[in-house]
Structure formats: structure tokens, C-alpha cells
Amino acid sequence: MRIPFGTITLTRTAKDLVMDCLDRGRVSGGTLVRRFEEKAASLIGVKETVAVSSGTDADTLALAVLHDFGAKRGDEVILPALSYVSTGHAVIHAGFTPVFVDIDPETLNIDVSRIEKAVTPKTRAIFAVHLMGKPADMDAIRDIGDRHGLAVIEDAAEAWGASYKGKNAGALGDMGAFSLYVAHIITTGDGGLVATDNEEYAEVLRSLRGHGRACACKTCVSTVSGGKCAKRFADPAVGDRRFHFQRIGYSSRMNDMEAALGLGTSELYDEIIAVRHRNLSACIQGFERFGEFFRTFREEAHERIGPHAFPFVIESGAPFTRDALLIHLTENGIDPRTLFTSIPTQCGGFEFLGHSLGDFPHSEHVGSNGLHIGVHQDITLDDVAYFIDVVDDFIRRY
């Protein structure tokens, strides 16, 4: 493949830290996880981040926090119909009912004009997705949330490097959930984290990732240094805090070897963002000539798109199919991916909700006609020009 979809940058720091973990026999969550959390918080611009084992877990735990603040199982969470399926999974795993809203085809994000119609007495949160790193309309979303007393949680899985009106994605709502999967800008191989300025939320998150137990300190002396914890047996009514479980929790911890990879990647954060944003901008500009056949997003003056990938959607009436284009790109050394589908109507696991094809037409169109390619730091501007030429050659056949 000349243009693979993803890459991973493994720095000398990451390799040295991994080897140090192995040499010391300290491979579970400890000092490096806490260092990585502090580094991630500084990059996002929040007080706290809590590292977990996947982006899906980050989504799930961010939602599950709401049970400590009055939410009940079966309550509703509003989210866009178009997203990676894990967004919908997280709502269900956290014990809520997903209420889907169609997207705005110009942004690929939730259509804010439809949100308020979906609010009911059981609604507890709006789950805003910054799809492909394009920030959702957070002013409008926060306004609806404030007026109805709803939490606003960001699925910022693909939004590293994104900003909205001068503030980073993930710091725009009550909590922001990030993915650290291998194809993402900061990676720990797998992994995720939740960002928040609310220290109460962070404490609950630390409990949730460890089966809901009472231990929720930012730094656990037992796991970091093997030292004695003054809190562990301080309350006779509780007994051993490490085995006192306050809430329904999850097994979602990050380990130090994963955190080592994240610390290494974060050293090059600004450089990686710059290269990827350059590539994304070149793709957007290059596709302007194909406006008759494709729709893609654009970067507005008030925002900066997080350069996760370049999405493009075949317009209705185009004289070719997505499958034909997929084959052409692959045969020419470009590794594309189909864009995500309408979760409630194109993902079989959600059939139990009773939706039918046609309920979310914009999301369904993207699900049947959308593609995206990587814009990662190992791609050059010559590669982008090659991609544009390959698409141009394909269109000229029709």
C-alpha cells in the first residue's frame, strides 16, 4: 500500500519506558499511567483525565458516572444516528436507552435543530460526537443541555487536535471521551481516557474503572510504590477499602506499558497534528474539483478540525458505486475505509429498538455511500496529490 489507512509512531522514549517496566516487573497500572493522565490533561486543557482500557470504555464510563448524580437505569441519552457503533454500544452498556437523532449532512454531526424534539422527562444527557474530528455545534448543544438540565458528554474519540471557538474538543462539555487506538493521533495501542474539569466526576471514574471499588485516589501508593495506604483500613465499618465496592463498575484499567506508548506519542503531539492537518487541508482543497460527485466537510473560521481522517460521501445520482471506487482505490495502493453507518437502522444489533430504514435518511446515505482515508504523519503531500489523481482518473471513466 502506498497510502495505508493508519500508522503508529513509536518513539525512543516509549521503547525505553516499556523496557523499564519489564525490567522492574511493574506492568500493571502505576506511575506511568498517572504521568500519562497528567500529560493528556495538559494537552486537552482540563483539570483531570482518567485513563481506561479503550475508547469504548471511555464513552461507557463517562455515561455511567451519571448514575451517581441522579440518573436511573433505562433513562435516555440523545446521540447522533451516525457514528462508530461503539457510541451506541456505550449508551447501552452504561444502562441507558439510546435516542437517536439524524445528522446534518454538511457537517456529518448531530443536527442540532432536531435535538430538542427528542428531549423527554427521561432524558439525562446529550452525547455529542465530533465525527472525523469535526467539532459539533457545541454552543447550541450546551444551550439545550443547560435549559433542560442535561449533562453534555463529548465523544471526542477522533478529535485530538480539534478546537471550537478557541477551546479544545473534550473540554467543551461536562466530560470528553477519547480513543487511544492505534490509528489515532495519540495512541497507547488500545486504550482511552475521559477528560473533565469536575473532580467529583473524576473520582467516580477512577472507581468505575476498577469494578466500582472505594479506592479512587489519583495516585495509589499501593500500586505505585508498594507503600502502606493510610486509608485502606481507616474505617472499621468498611473494612478493607480495596474490596469495598460502592457502585456497579467495570474492569477498564490501563497498564503502564500502554501508558508508555502514550507518553512517547505525546512528545510529538504538535508535530503530528501539524502534518496531519496539512494533509487533511490538502485533501479538502483537492476535492473541490469533484463537488458534482462528492460531499465532504470544510473547516470554518471558528474551528479547527482534528485531523483524524478525510471523509468523502458519494452524492445521490453519481454514475458510479462506492464498491467500484473502493476497488479502484485499493488496486492503486490506497487503503480506504467505509464511513460509519446509521447505528439504529444499519447495525443489526440495534434492531430491538424498532427503527426502520428511512428513519434517519442523512445518516443512512452516509452509511451506504461514505468513505474515508487516513491523513496520518507518514503521508506526504505527494501522496495526497497521488490520491487526488487516482480519484480523478476513476471519475473520468464515467
The values of phi and psi at residue 223, to 5°, are: -85, -25
C-alpha distances in Å from residue 334, one per residue of 6, 163, 286, 331:
11, 29, 16, 7
216, part of any domain: yes
253, part of any domain: yes
The values of phi and psi at residue 387, to 5°, are: -55, -45
Q: What is the mean pLDDT of residues 277-281?
A: 98
**Which positions ≥6 away from 345 have C-beta within 8 Å?**
81, 355, 356, 357, 358, 359, 360, 363, 364
- Please, which pLDDT band fits residue 222 given cuts at 50, 70 and 90? low
SS3 for 98?
Answer: strand
112, part of any domain: yes
147 pLDDT higher than 70: yes
The values of phi and psi at residue 314, to 5°, are: -70, 130
**Which positions ≥6 away from 297 have C-beta within 8 Å?**
106, 107, 108, 132, 134, 284, 305, 311
346-382 b/e (C-beta count within 10 Å ≥ 16 → b):
bbeebeebebeeebbebbbbbbbbbbbbbbbbebeee
95, part of any domain: yes
**Mean pLDDT over the full length of the chain:** 95
CATH of the domain at 126: 3.40.640.10
Contact present, 150 and 76 (Cβ < 8 Å): no
230 pLDDT higher than 90: no
What is the per-residue pLDDT for 225?
A: 60
1, part of any domain: no
The values of phi and psi at residue 163, to 5°, are: -145, 155
- Please, which pLDDT band fits residue 128 given cuts at 50, 70 and 90? very high
192 pLDDT higher than 80: yes
What's the domain range around 294? Answer: 269-395
The values of phi and psi at residue 41, to 5°, are: -60, -40
Shared domain check, 337 and 253: no
322, part of any domain: yes
SS3 for 312?
Answer: strand
- Please, which pLDDT band fits residue 157 given cuts at 50, 70 and 90? very high
Grid coordinates belonging to 111: 443536527
Residue 49, strand partner residues: 195
Residue 41's nearest CA partner among 171, 210, 153, 186 is 171
349, part of any domain: yes
Measure the CA angle with vertex 308, ends 305 and 312; round to 5°.
85
Can you tell me the distance from the alpha carbon of 14 to that of 31, in angstroms, rounded to the nearest whole number? 14
Q: What is the mean pLDDT of residues 364-374?
A: 98
Tens digit of each residue's pLDDT (9 = 90 or more) over 4-31: 999 999 999 999 999 999 998 888 878 9
Shared domain check, 149 and 68: yes
Shared domain check, 258 and 147: yes
Tens digit of each residue's pLDDT (9 = 90 or more) over 81-100: 999 999 999 999 999 999 99
- Please, which pLDDT band fits residue 226 given cuts at 50, 70 and 90? low
Tens digit of each residue's pLDDT (9 = 90 or more) over 238-252: 777 778 788 999 999
What is the per-residue pLDDT for 30?
A: 85
Give the chain's largest Cα–Cα span.
78
More confident call, 237 vs 120: 120
Q: Which helix (H) or strand (E) holds 238?
A: none
Q: What is the CA radius of gyration of the chain?
A: 22
221 pLDDT higher than 70: no
Residue 176, strand partner residues: 154, 195
The number of distinct structural domains making up the chain is: 2
Shared domain check, 304 and 196: no
Of 210, 235, 266, which residue constitutes the final position of a domain? 266
269 pLDDT higher than 80: yes
SS3 for 346?
Answer: helix
Shared domain check, 184 and 283: no
Shared domain check, 119 and 218: yes
- Dihedral Cα 147, 148, 151, 154, nearest 10 deg: -70
Shared domain check, 202 and 323: no
6, part of any domain: no
Q: What is the mean pLDDT of residues 275-289?
A: 98
Shared domain check, 306 and 341: yes
Q: What is the mean pLDDT of residues 350-372?
A: 98
Of 237, 266, 295, which residue constitutes the final position of a domain? 266
CATH of the domain at 280: 3.90.1150.10
Shared domain check, 261 and 286: no
Grid coordinates belonging to 168: 479544545
**What's the pTM?**
0.94
Of 219, 235, 266, which residue constitutes the final position of a domain? 266
Shared domain check, 284 and 261: no
Percent of the chain with pLDDT over 90: 89
Amino acid at 114: R
What is the per-residue pLDDT for 1?
A: 85
- Please, which pLDDT band fits residue 224 given cuts at 50, 70 and 90? low
More confident call, 244 vs 148: 148
Per DSSP (E only), the strands in 217-328 are 294-295, 303-304, 309-314
